[in-house]
């Protein structure tokens, strides 16, 4: 993994090739996209409530990869779901997620990743963790607000109902997911000090 | 005269061989059409789509699992809309009449998605994505196709790794809190996936899959 370009022995134009480093970044972004998709299928009980790890994985992608690479991961995730891969949990595949009641949450994921990604590349562990907590919380709130707006447009006739179903119902478990995301992201950044590159 | 099984298989084979770009367009067109159907129209459309399950390619374990999940998803949002309308003062029968076509449309969209996934290999989907995105991403469109193919490889691996990490903790008899187990499972899966991602990057380069021409139709 020296970031060099593989030689073209088949006559491929040099401009058509990508460096191994760029390929590695694409593979990592795809890996996080898959992790977000897998998160929808992993359900964790927390007292009387159950939650999936999907939104945790969205924050994790931002923390671990930064804004640019994190957005790449989330866009790969959304494109994969749109083009039919079973990425959205509960059996959803194809454009259903973008036309159904959860459309707002998916748009919110983009903003959640971007906001969480701002904590990436900050020097000093304690400072970074504090920033992750603050930006992660802000990201979750923005994502849930988009989700509630999506519910209001598609299913629930009132804003109050949409707020209760789309935001209030998720608030008790979101701090647990955020904590998980921070702990896992710290481990990732310890192993990969350069993180997602690009905007580190 | 061929029997039903071989007819299904033949029809499935034809659908598989169909150009992936056409299938993507069909998927999008049908999804948009589904959104505009109401009441009886939605019921007839759903019944027609359910006939797709006569194809052998759609009677796999994975497709059935996806369908069961999709049915739960539709039932959940039916109940949400029903109770939201009921709390809003709408009569129960009227609330059910309002929510039922919505649930029907959701199931129809789920069936469309399952049909597309079951009848289109990921590499073909990747090539179709590259073709559709070329006007927007130009020279970088092939990376989207490659990324999609990578995701279809990573997704089952990722689920398998998380499951294995959980199994390992259980077999070691560790009485850990659920949240600690979740953290350990996700962390372990991520560590393994990192290594795999790096190896995949090398593999792609060595198999010359990092060139745009591979991802073109």
Q: What is the pLDDT of residues B55-73, one digit of tens each?
A: 777 777 777 777 777 787 7
Helices (H) and strands (E) in chain A, counts: 7, 2
A164 reaches B (C-beta below 8 A): no
Residues of B in contact with A161 (CB under 8 A): 84, 87-88
Testing the interface with B: which of A96, A105, A156 to mutate, by most B Cβ within 10 A?
Answer: A96
Residues of A in contact with B186 (CB under 8 A): 42, 53, 56, 180, 184
In angstroms, the CA A132 to CA A175 distance is 12
> Is the pLDDT score of A93 beyond 80?
no
> Is the pLDDT score of B8 beyond 60?
no
Q: Could you read off the pLDDT of A69-81 as tens digits, one per residue?
A: 999 999 999 988 8
Comparison of pLDDT for B197 and A170, the residue scoring more:
B197
Mean pLDDT of chain A: 82
Give DSSP secondary structure letters for B101-131.
HHHHHHHHHHHHHHHHHHHS-HHHHHHHHHH
Q: Which of A166, A155, A158 is nearest to B87 (CA)?
A: A158
pLDDT score at A96: 63
> Is the pLDDT score of A32 beyond 90?
yes
Question: Is A17-191 a CATH 3.40.1160.10 domain?
Answer: no
pLDDT score at A58: 95
Is this model's pTM higher than 0.80 or not?
Answer: no
> Is the pLDDT score of A200 beyond 60?
no
pLDDT score at B12: 67
pLDDT score at A199: 42
Confidence of residue A181 (pLDDT cuts 50, 70, 90): very high
Residues of A in contact with B110 (CB under 8 A): 91-94, 96
pLDDT score at A127: 92
Comparison of pLDDT for A138 and B168, the residue scoring more:
A138
For residue A129 the two structure tokens come to: 């963790």
Q: Which of B77, B155, B206 sits opposite A155 (nearest CB)?
A: B77
CA dist B2 to A102, A164, B18, B55, B70, Å?
44, 56, 22, 14, 33
> Under an 8 A CB cutoff, do B187 and A187 touch?
yes
Q: Could you read off the pLDDT of B92-147 as tens digits, one per residue?
A: 888 888 888 888 887 887 788 788 878 887 778 888 888 888 888 888 888 888 89
> Is the pLDDT score of A2 beyond 60?
no
A161 reaches B (C-beta below 8 A): yes
Residues of B in contact with A183 (CB under 8 A): 183, 187
Q: Rounded mean pLDDT of A137-161?
A: 89
For residue B215 the two structure tokens come to: 């991802």
pLDDT score at A182: 94
> Under an 8 A CB cutoff, do B73 and A90 touch?
yes
Q: Rounded mean pLDDT of A86-111?
A: 77
Confidence of residue A156 (pLDDT cuts 50, 70, 90): confident
In angstroms, the CA A43 to CA A56 distance is 12
Q: Rounded mean pLDDT of A90-95?
A: 61
In angstroms, the CA A163 to CA A169 distance is 9
> Under an 8 A CB cutoff, do A91 and B210 touch?
no
pLDDT score at B174: 72
pLDDT score at A49: 58
> Under an 8 A CB cutoff, do B159 and A38 touch?
yes
> Is the pLDDT score of A169 beyond 60?
yes
pLDDT score at B5: 47
pLDDT score at A178: 92
The domain limits of chain B are 4-120, 124-215
Cα A7 from chain centroid? 34
């Amino acid at each position: 993994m020296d970031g060099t370009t593989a030689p073209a022995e088949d006559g491929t134009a040099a401009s058509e090739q990508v460096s191994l480093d760029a390929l590695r970044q694409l593979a990592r972004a795809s890996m996080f996209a898959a992790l977000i998709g897998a998160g929808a299928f992993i359900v964790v009980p927390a007292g009387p409530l159950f939650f999936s790890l999907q939104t945790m994985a969205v924050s994790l992608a931002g923390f671990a990869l930064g804004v640019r690479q994190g957005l790449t991961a989330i866009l790969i995730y959304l494109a994969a779901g749109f083009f039919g891969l079973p990425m959205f949990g509960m059996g959803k595949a194809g454009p259903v997620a973008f036309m159904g009641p959860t459309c707002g949450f998916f748009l919110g994921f983009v903003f959640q990743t971007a906001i969480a990604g701002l904590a990436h590349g900050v020097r000093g562990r304690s400072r970074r963790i504090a920033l992750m907590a603050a930006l992660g919380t802000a990201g979750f709130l923005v994502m849930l607000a988009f989700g509630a707006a999506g519910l209001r447009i598609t299913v629930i006739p009132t804003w109050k109902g949409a707020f209760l179903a789309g935001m209030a119902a998720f608030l008790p478990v979101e701090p647990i997911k955020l904590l998980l995301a921070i702990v896992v992201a710290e481990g990732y950044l310890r192993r990969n000090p350069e993180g997602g590159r690009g905007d580190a | 005269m061929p029997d039903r099984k071989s007819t299904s298989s033949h029809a499935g084979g034809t659908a598989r061989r169909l150009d992936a770009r056409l299938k993507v367009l069909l998927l999008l067109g049908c999804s948009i059409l589904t959104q505009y159907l109401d009441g009886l129209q939605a019921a007839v459309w759903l019944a027609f789509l359910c006939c797709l399950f006569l194809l052998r390619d759609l009677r796999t374990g994975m497709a059935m699992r996806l369908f069961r999940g999709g049915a739960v998803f539709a039932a959940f949002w039916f109940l949400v809309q029903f109770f939201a309308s009921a709390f809003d003062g709408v009569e129960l029968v009227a609330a059910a009449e309002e929510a039922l076509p919505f649930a029907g449309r959701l199931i129809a969209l789920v069936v469309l998605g399952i049909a597309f996934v079951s009848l289109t290999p990921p590499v073909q989907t990747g090539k179709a994505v590259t073709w559709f995105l070329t006007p927007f991403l130009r020279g970088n469109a092939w990376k989207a196709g490659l990324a999609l193919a990578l995701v279809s490889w990573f997704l089952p691996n990722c689920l398998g790794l998380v499951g294995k990490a959980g199994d390992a903790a259980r077999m070691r008899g560790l009485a850990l809190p659920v949240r600690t187990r979740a953290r350990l499972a996700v962390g372990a899966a991520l560590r393994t996936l990192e290594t795999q991602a790096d190896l995949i990057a090398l593999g792609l380069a060595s198999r010359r899959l990092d060139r745009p021409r591979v991802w073109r139709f």
